[in-house]
């Protein structure tokens, strides 16, 4: 994934797409920061990169909301433009219906019967659908299902 990001950065620079260049540099900087952090264990996996990109995506969504609240339409448009480029690197998110269906299936497969089994369900959904679900939706649904 890192090599794809680098190739896309070179292409964006040749196309003089400033917004995309900015986003890709932001992602590459975040990856470099991760590699120099104490949490780094000598390997930067695609899962790590996806987590980094998701974090950046959330930051841009939050910024767009703040700019909307402040009435700064010009900055909102720039944030949303950059967010579109970021989302190109994220996997397709499960819809609410797909998420509920997946959680029900996982609850059955791990024989979860109470809230004590929530950890098993959450681990399995992360293994099966990495970075493709809304953790808030999953946890609230699991809680309501396993009461």
**How does pLDDT run across 54-111, given as a tens digit for each residue?**
899 999 999 999 999 999 999 999 999 999 999 999 888 888 899 999 999 999 999 8
- The pLDDT, as a whole number, for residue 73 is 93
- The pLDDT, as a whole number, for residue 77 is 93
- The pLDDT, as a whole number, for residue 60 is 94
Give the chain's mean pLDDT: 91
Stretch 114-141: mean pLDDT, rounded?
A: 87
User: Above pLDDT 90, what percent of the chain?
Assistant: 61
47 CB-near residues (< 8 Å, 6+ apart) = 130, 131
Q: How far apart are CA 43 and CA 113, in angstroms?
A: 37
- The pLDDT, as a whole number, for residue 89 is 92
pLDDT score of 131 more than 80: no
Q: How far apart are CA 42 and CA 107, in angstroms?
A: 34
State CA 96 to chain mean position distance.
Answer: 16
């Amino acid at each position: 994934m890192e090599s794809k990001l680098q190739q896309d950065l070179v292409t964006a620079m040749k196309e003089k797409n400033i917004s995309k260049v900015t986003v890709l540099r932001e992602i590459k900087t975040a990856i470099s920061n991760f590699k120099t952090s104490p949490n780094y264990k000598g390997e930067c996996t695609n899962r790590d990169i996806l987590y980094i990109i998701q974090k950046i995506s959330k930051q841009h969504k939050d910024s767009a909301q703040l700019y909307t609240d402040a009435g700064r339409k010009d900055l909102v448009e720039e944030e949303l433009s950059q967010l579109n480029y970021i989302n190109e690197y994220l996997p397709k998110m499960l819809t609410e219906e797909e998420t509920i269906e997946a959680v029900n299936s996982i609850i059955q497969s791990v024989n979860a019967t109470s809230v004590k089994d929530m950890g098993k369900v959450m681990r399995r959904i992360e293994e099966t659908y990495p970075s493709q679900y809304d953790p808030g939706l999953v946890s609230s649904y699991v809680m309501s299902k396993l009461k």
